[in-house]
Amino acid sequence: MVLYGESHGAFLIQFGFSYSLADPSLFVYKKDLGYLSYFLGLEVAYTNSGLFLSQTKYAHDILVRAGLVDSKPAATPLATTKRFTSHGTLLNDPTFYRSLVGALQYLMITCPDISYAVNQVMYFLHAPTTDHFQAVKRIIRYVKGTLVYGLSFHHASKPSLLGYSDADWARCIETRRSTYGYSIFLGGNLISWSAKKQPTVARSSCESEYRALANTAAEIVWITHLLHELYVLPSERPTILCDNKSTIFLSQNPISIKRSKHIDINYHFVCELVSSGKLYTKFVPTTLQLAEIFTKSIPRSLFESFRSKLHVGPPPVHLKGGGGRMMMVYVVMMMTMNSNEGDDKRKDDDSKKMVRVNEDDDDDYVMLMIKTMIDNDDDDD
């Protein structure tokens, strides 16, 4: 069991918790507390190969709060042409805007695919406009279309740390600050990700990419310290993939220091890790750069491909224990999606039977999940 919080450190230590050497605000309680099914809005389902984490009920509550339960689902969180500015008509109720954005932030725990979009609308909490509010509603409509989606985690025979680092140079049209993002996998499972705007303006795309690489390296160093403390540190050295060849060259060649004085600290930090054998940097084509989903709004086909590779999707077919209701909903959804196959009348009867079972559970959000998939199927037709 792992808990965060510095102010109650002495109290936690009395109950058997210990300080983490990797993070002074992290406390570890080394005891098996049994199977987890629900915790602070997080729903946990066990599969034959691992875990499935979701926030379906919490996501439904956001839809209700926003009044978008009956809205049309969106295919992506943001349009590819969307750019944000601070100009426009101010909202009459900015508190409502901040409430929705805050709720979406918490939803990112199991929905990393909305990280970039939520990060963008976060920068206007002080003075949101009607245009910003429309973007928030677009994100929530995307959430409606992916209501049962979550993160899948699988057992790995030989776990290793792999990071993807990316930056979109001068993305902000008002400040010309770059947006950077990373995704870090342990044994093929996504364990850390980020989508943020860089604090200062980069003078070149190489500089923005190198800053992103340094931030990713810092996160990997922290993760390795934590894994070492938990006795699960992989034997292989971590690898970071970047789609900028100049950045890779800088990280592997100390002789280029004269050309990088403006990123001197980041340069020495990464180069020292690489030269000491604690980190490996490698080039990856842009078409395989998973971190791009955290730096810009990308076309639907590419977005869905990257989302799948992040292991974000519907619940697996085989669930154990308390995953029965989630599996029941997924079966109904699959039947709806495949409406052109088999005997239509038989499937209609089966669908009504499945819906009737869920109605007995008295969960409105279960019915909404089924309705959402039907709406999506009608849109495709």
- What pLDDT was estimated at residue 255? 62
- The answer to whether position 197 is within a domain reads yes
- The tokens describing 275, both together, are 């030269």
Q: Are residues 141 and 166 in the same domain?
A: no
Shared domain check, 208 and 259: yes
- Continuous segment of H or E residues that includes residue 59: helix 56-66
Q: Are residues 215 and 139 in the same domain?
A: no
> What is the spatial distance between Cα 187 and Cα 305, in angstroms, rounded to a whole number?
19
Are both 138 and 162 inside the same structural domain?
no
In three state form, how does the secondary structure of 282-318 look?
EECCHHHCHHHHHCCCCCHHHHHHHHHHCCEECCCCC
Domain end residue (candidates: 244, 262, 284): 284
- Could you tell me if residue 164 is inside a domain? yes
Indicate if 110 and 174 belong to the same structural domain. no
Contact between residue 218 and residue 138 where contact means Cβ atoms under 8 Å apart: no
Whole-Å CA distances, 283 to 30, 118, 213: 39, 28, 12
CB 169 within 8 A of CB 159: no
Residues 165 and 276 in one domain: yes
Residue 38's closest CA among 329, 325, 359?
Answer: 325
105: in domain: yes
> Does 42 map to a domain?
no
CB 296 within 8 A of CB 197: no
Asked whether residue 354 is domain-assigned, the answer is no
Structure tokens at 352: 């009504």
Together in a domain, 240 and 266:
yes
From the list 215, 222, 176, 209, the residue with the least C-alpha distance to 194 is 215
Number of domains in the chain: 3
**How far apart are the C-alpha atoms of 69 and 57, rounded to whole Å?**
13
Shared domain check, 189 and 83: no
Cβ pair 331, 353 in contact under 8 A: no
pLDDT on residue 6: 52
Residue-level pLDDT, tens digit, the chain, 381 residues: 555 555 566 777 887 888 888 777 788 877 777 888 888 889 999 888 889 999 999 999 999 999 999 999 999 999 998 888 888 889 999 999 999 999 999 999 999 999 999 999 999 999 999 999 999 999 999 999 999 999 999 988 788 999 999 999 888 878 898 899 999 999 999 999 999 998 888 888 888 999 999 999 999 999 999 898 888 888 889 999 999 998 898 888 866 555 555 567 777 788 889 988 899 999 999 999 999 999 999 999 999 999 999 999 998 865 665 444 444 444 444 444 344 444 444 444 433 333 333 334 444 555 555 555 555 555 554
Regarding whether 276 and 191 lie in a shared domain, the answer is yes
Q: Is residue 307 domain-resident? A: no
Report yes or no: 195 and 116 within 8 Å, Cβ to Cβ. yes
Tell which of 119, 145, 171 closes a domain: 145
Tell whether 278 and 194 lie within a shared domain: yes
- Please identify, among 284, 309, 339, the residue that sits at the C-terminal boundary of a domain: 284
Between the alpha carbon of residue 216 and those of residues 62, 249, 251, the distances in Å are 31, 17, 13
173 occurs within a structural domain: yes
> Could you tell me the residue range of the domain that residue 3 belongs to?
1-34
Specify the DSSP class assigned to residue 129.
B
210/118 same-domain check = no
Q: Establish how many alpha carbons lie within 13 A of residue 344's alpha carbon, considering only the half-sphere containing its beta carbon.
A: 2
Q: CB of 242 within 8 A of CB of 248? A: yes
d(CA 289, CA 4): 32
Q: Which residue in 243, 245, 263, 265 sits closest to 167, CA to CA?
A: 243
The DSSP H or E segment spanning 42 is strand 42-47
What separation, in Å, do the N-terminal and C-terminal C-alpha atoms of the chain show?
47
The reply to whether 360 falls in a domain is no
Looking at the structure, tell me whether residues 270 and 185 fall in a common domain.
yes
Count how many Cα atoms sit within 13 Å of the Cα of residue 63 in the half-sphere of its side chain.
Answer: 24
